[in-house]
Amino acid sequence: MLILVTNDDGIHAPGIKALSLALAAIGKVVVVAPERERSAIGHGITMHKPLRITEVPWEEPIGKGLAINGTPADCVKLALDALLEEPPAMVVSGINRGENLGTDVLYSGTVSGAIEGCINGRPSLAVSLVGEGEFDFTFAASFTARLAREILKRGLPDGTLLNLNIPHLPEAEIRGIAITRLGRRRYINTVSCRQDPRGRAYYWLAGEKEDLDQGPDTDIGALSRGLISLTPLQLDLTHYAFQEELSTYLPFLWPGHGNK
């Protein structure tokens, strides 16, 4: 069973080392990851420059990893279409240094690696460790391997991926696991304006989180209660409930050319 592992913190990050070695106990792991950090790149792909591959030494039994000068989605595309001899049984992206919760999954490089696996019909999983400072990935990696074993056994429905967020707490303090939905979050006061030595303005994006929906059944709510959050995702953004209302706009847009 081939397992493709990628991330967005870059191939030298400790999270992908821990993840790949834990998964090596349940399958043959191939690591294809960005050569440097690609956080907050969203679901980007690289079409305007050529991609190159560099081998990186890796602990046994994996032996080597492949570093790409691109995004997590690039890594998955390249692996599936050019590097792997057979389709992987699973794509796992992570373990990210920091959370990927709620609306932020749309910006997340970690989740984009799993989205690309899902688009291409592979059971896919994104994993993040929620906290700050010095991370210990030991528990998160072994928990992820248990989940991966279950997914390999049962599969996932077509078009489904999983987003896993694990609190960075001592194992005894983690209160359990919750199946969640995505919360809603945005950032406020995102822009900091400064002046360079020549008096020209420049701007940094940063900002503070504002949680618009952190209900107990959301991923954000679960983490705030010390739970592991496991959210099933799908890729259809259609707002079905608004279709009928929207059709009432049509007579005003182009008379005689209404809903076909």
**191-230 binders of its own copies (CB under 8 A):** 191, 193-194, 200-207, 222, 225, 227-228, 230
Q: For its own copies, what does the binding mask look like between residues 61 and 90, x meaning CB under 8 A?
A: ------------xx--xx--xx--------
- 104 annotated as ligand-binding: no
Window 25-44: residues binding its own copies (CB under 8 A): 39-44
- 74 annotated as ligand-binding: no
- Contact flag: residue 177 with its own copies (CB under 8 A): yes
DSSP 80: I
* Own/partner pairs, 167-175, CB within 8 angstroms, 24+ separation: 167/130, 167/131, 167/223, 167/226, 167/227, 167/228, 168/129, 168/130, 168/131, 168/132, 168/135, 168/136, 168/140, 169/131, 169/226, 171/139, 173/226, 174/139, 174/226, 174/227, 174/228, 175/225, 175/226, 175/227
Q: How far is the CB of 131 from its own copies (least distance, A)?
A: 19
**CA 112, chain centre distance (Å):** 5
Q: How far is the CB of 61 from its own copies (least distance, A)?
A: 24
Q: What is the dihedral of CA 241, 242, 244, 250, to 10 degrees?
A: -170
Which residue lies nearer to its own copies by CB, 20 or 104? Answer: 104
H/E segment holding residue 118: helix 109-119
- Contact flag: residue 150 with its own copies (CB under 8 A): yes
Which residue lies nearer to its own copies by CB, 50 or 57? Answer: 50
Which residue lies nearer to its own copies by CB, 61 or 121? Answer: 121
Which residue lies nearer to its own copies by CB, 2 or 147? Answer: 147
Residue numbers in the known binding site are: 8-9, 39, 96
Residue numbers in the known binding site for a divalent metal cation are: 8-9, 39, 96
